[in-house]
Amino acid sequence: MTLIGEVRVIVWAITLPWFCGPLLQVSWAQEQREPDGRAHTGAVEIQMRKVNFRLARDIVLEVRSLRGQLERTNPEVPVTFDDGASFFVQIDTAEVAITTASLTALMNSYVLAYDGAPIKKVTVSIDGDRLIQKGTIHKGVDLPFEIEGSLSTTADGNIRVHADKVKAAHVPVKGLLHLLGEDLSKLVNQNSARGMSIVGDDIILIPKTLTPPPHLEGRVTRVSIANGKIVQFFDSGRHAVALIPPFPSSAYIYHRSGILRFGKLTMDDADLEIVGDRPGVFEFFQHEYLKQLVAGYSKTTPANGLVAHMADYSRFRPHTAPPSRDRKPAMTGQGSH
């Protein structure tokens, strides 16, 4: 017996207990099914503008613009905010920047954080249009190294760091392969699922596995250094029509169509816009989005969509300076308006 036509209840609410507001609407929706009973793997369309997308407390991607889809990693599980591994971001076009501090944290806490990694204690800096990488390499003993390189893209849409100058223990060496040797190069390449491989005197950074989930899949067509940041331009050749969010804002994350789950809420034919509570770039941390959600408020739209006004994540980061007496208190949870 197939499950075609099975009707399920989708709680279609502005708020639940963690939304800090009343239940506004309950609707019935019919989930589309394949002939064998499996749910469709339809993507959730996504568009982002001016968002500092925090992958970890010390790793931030500056998403200046992005158009793409959130694709399921498991056909049986819808895109779920509470599980970054449940989906990946299929990028059509995007401009994404990262600071050297975030790249340093990414290299140490994720890319090179595997058993037996020959490289550790990496720091990344910029000198003009050059990328400088320093760290320690283990070759029987720990040796300090320094690599000065230039950035470009590969034919298959990855990022190439060409090692123009290499030093080990402050002594120039012939190249990256001479620094690592054949065995250590193989070890790095065996762990390329962490987003880095070695090809000759090139370090290849692979965006689709370079970050912890949710992964970003797309073709990098250009990479540059500007204002102390590494800027990546994605273009996969798919130019989808721009989405029009229901709430006018210069900084937002907008989801449309497909099935989207977050907390206890499941949206069928998703129509969810997330915006911040202050002007300028919106800082969003998916792993701790509940804090931002509880401290904000939400509104339904005439099309039964949802606009979630979240507290900017910067409100939850510790500040070195004491707050000013004139500063208004952070937004607290409140019901829908």
Quick: pLDDT tens for 142-162: 899 999 999 999 999 999 999
Segment 191-238, tens digit of pLDDT: 889 999 999 999 999 999 999 899 999 999 999 999 999 999 999 998
Q: How many beta carbons lie within 10 A of that of residue 190, not counting itself?
A: 11
Report phi then psi at 199, rounded to 5.
-130, 105
pLDDT at 320: 47
Phi, psi for residue 81 in degrees, rounded to 5: -60, -35
pLDDT of residue 129: 92
Closest listed residue to residue 2, CA positions, set 32, 29, 34: 34
DSSP string, 187-212: HHHHTGGGSEEEETTEEEE-HHHHSS
Q: What is the model's pLDDT at position 45?
A: 97
pLDDT above 70: residue 19: no
Q: Where are the domains of the chain?
A: 58-72+91-240
CA 192/CA 204 separation, integer angstroms: 9
Over residues 100-110, the mean pLDDT reads: 95
The per-residue pLDDT for 319 is 58
Q: Nearest CA to 329 among 277, 289, 284?
A: 277
Integer-rounded Cα Rg, in Å, for the chain is 23
Q: What is the pLDDT of residue 184?
A: 83
Predicted pLDDT of residue 36: 36
